[in-house]
Amino acid sequence: MLFSLRLRHIALLPLALTLFSCSTTPGNSVQDARAFLESAETELLKIQVADNRAGWVHETYINDDTDSLAAAADDRLIGRVTELVKESARFDNTPLPPDLRRKLTLLKLSLPMPAPADPKLREELTQLAAGLSGSYGKGKYCPSPNDPAAKCFGVEAVGEKMAKSRDPKELAELWEGWHKVATPMRDRYARFVELSNAGATQLGFKDTGALWRSGYDMEPAAFSAELERLWTQVEPLYKELHAYTRTRLKTKYGAAATREDGMIPAHLLGNIWAQEWENIYDLVAPASAPATYDLSKILAARKADAKQITGYGENFFKSLGFEPLPPAFWQRSMLTRPADRDVVCHASAWDVDADTDVRLKMCIQGTGEDFIVVHHELGHLFYDLAYRKQPFLFRSAANDGFHEAIGDTIALSITPEYLKTIGLIQQVPPPAADIPILLHRALEKVAFLPFGLLIDKWRWQVFAGEVKPADYNKAWWALREKYQGIAAPGERGPDAFDPGAKYHIPANTPYARYFLAAIYQFQFYRAMCKEAGYTGPLNRCSFFGSEAAGKKFKAMLDLGQSKPWPEALKQMTGEDKADAGAMVEYFAPLFAWLEQQNKGATTGWTIAARK
């Protein structure tokens, strides 16, 4: 929803549909419903743009004033949303055309942060939301907290150190240091959950988690089952990757990486949250393989700046037949970290006015990872631009997972063939290099899957009251152990709140979208490769320059949220059901190789009973 731009990457459901001036004599006919929604669309744009602008300033100029301004804008928007949802109930039993019924249904699902009707409680909720997001953005790890002259490190600096360090002691200190940032958030987060649930209940949902799970054109329980079905398809691949990585880490770190239960210590995987493992590729790379390329070094040698790296991403979309980014993008985006203020550097794409004012907020440092992230984030913006011609209430993705998957689909096409075409490498590595390339990508894509699944599983338990604040951390690690086979570096104290050390928790960003996107992107990619006429191994396909693939792609994007997501999926792929089989097909050569490497080794891990 468009409101979610402030607190997360992209639009989730069209919050646009949430603002409306109530008529003095409400009726419940089809004509009344149409007038109700049209009025909402007209008024919504003004209020939403103001809300988005406050959010943009909040994340690019973090201070107490912008905290308050963002909270006030949120309060105004959420208040109107809550009123409108209640007003819309008069049409619940009115026979309506499908488009109007869909808009009214989406209206009820439009708030990721439902608020109580009581203005004081609503204000408290929005202040908590802004404060939690601000606390994360301002968070610092200070190795010497009692020394005012000592250097402190924000999340980007901690992440960079963890990516490069190979000292297990230093890695444990960095991991522990950043996670302490979240400890003061726990009580505020618990209150946030309480208030959000109160709002969800008033809207007719069991809790906020149930509201979130209702946004996928299926019942909440069916959606939970759908995620588990998709996970089951890819779990064998993950377990092979886990076993292989564990063996190589034991070779490197010895006792520091060895646990009797077979789990991997979280701090050794090159990432603050152990959500992606590509930063330790050098530790797990095949012993003998043809040399490939280091995109970060190539970009550095070319002195590619943030604007040039962004231009590569824009040119990919242009090669598919998309129009260039609007001038406002280049004038108003934040592409590098400002030197004079705190900002939220977490990369995000912003559709500020539901038209052509689209922006990228990112602290580009010129790395290969940045190159890929830019392609991903621009996917959000080209999606925004594609559906801007839809009625305002449908200006969002078929579902939030689609929005995340669009850019990732493009990023999958960043193959050696593509890099040679645009002149970044001179030679395409031979087929023998496929395993190293696939392994590197699996450390990003496959390693992420269980993490992408468990974030919201934890929150759904919290919102449902199944996990109390005193057990937040215990439940968090139970899920990480179950799905990831990952363990904390050491014992966690009773006050620890490790979930809060991940941006999407204090920012209240629903996360199932990322798991879905990890699945959808391969399904989209396979369909686009087929449309481009490609017939070789799936992992070597690049559809760069294929206007035929671009035409098919854009037809799906143009739909926005006007149709249920299975219809949008079928428009693109010919299939109306999510299928992780495309991902398994993509990694098939690596899967076979991992099985060979793991011969004689035990895959999986054991989980001890928790007290």
* Residue positions annotated with a catalytic role: 377, 504
Helix axes 64-88, 98-108, angle to 10 degrees: 130
For the chain, count helices (H), then strands (E): 23, 4
Question: How far is residue 494's CA from residue 473's CA, in Å, rounded to a whole number?
Answer: 8
Question: How far is residue 281's CA from residue 231's CA, in Å, rounded to a whole number?
Answer: 24
DSSP secondary structure letters along 139-171: --B-SSTT-TTS--B-HHHHHHHHHH---HHHH
DSSP secondary structure letters along 348-410: EEEESSSSS-EEEE----S-HHHHHHHHHHHHHHHHHHHGGGS-GGG-S-SSHHHHHHHHHHH
Helix (H) or strand (E) holding 264: strand 264-265
The pairs formed by 154-158 with CB atoms below 8 angstroms and a separation of 24 or more are: 154/345, 155/181, 155/272, 155/345, 155/503, 156/337, 156/345, 156/363, 158/272
Residue with tokens 């009773």: 494
Question: How far is residue 122's CA from residue 119's CA, in Å, rounded to a whole number?
Answer: 5
Structure-block tokens of residue 87: 């007003």
Question: How far is residue 475's CA from residue 448's CA, in Å, rounded to a whole number?
Answer: 19
Enter the DSSP assignment of 113. Answer: S
Question: How far is residue 522's CA from residue 506's CA, in Å, rounded to a whole number?
Answer: 30
Spell 479-500 as b/e; 16+ CB within 10 A means b.
bbbebbbbbbbeebeeebbbbb
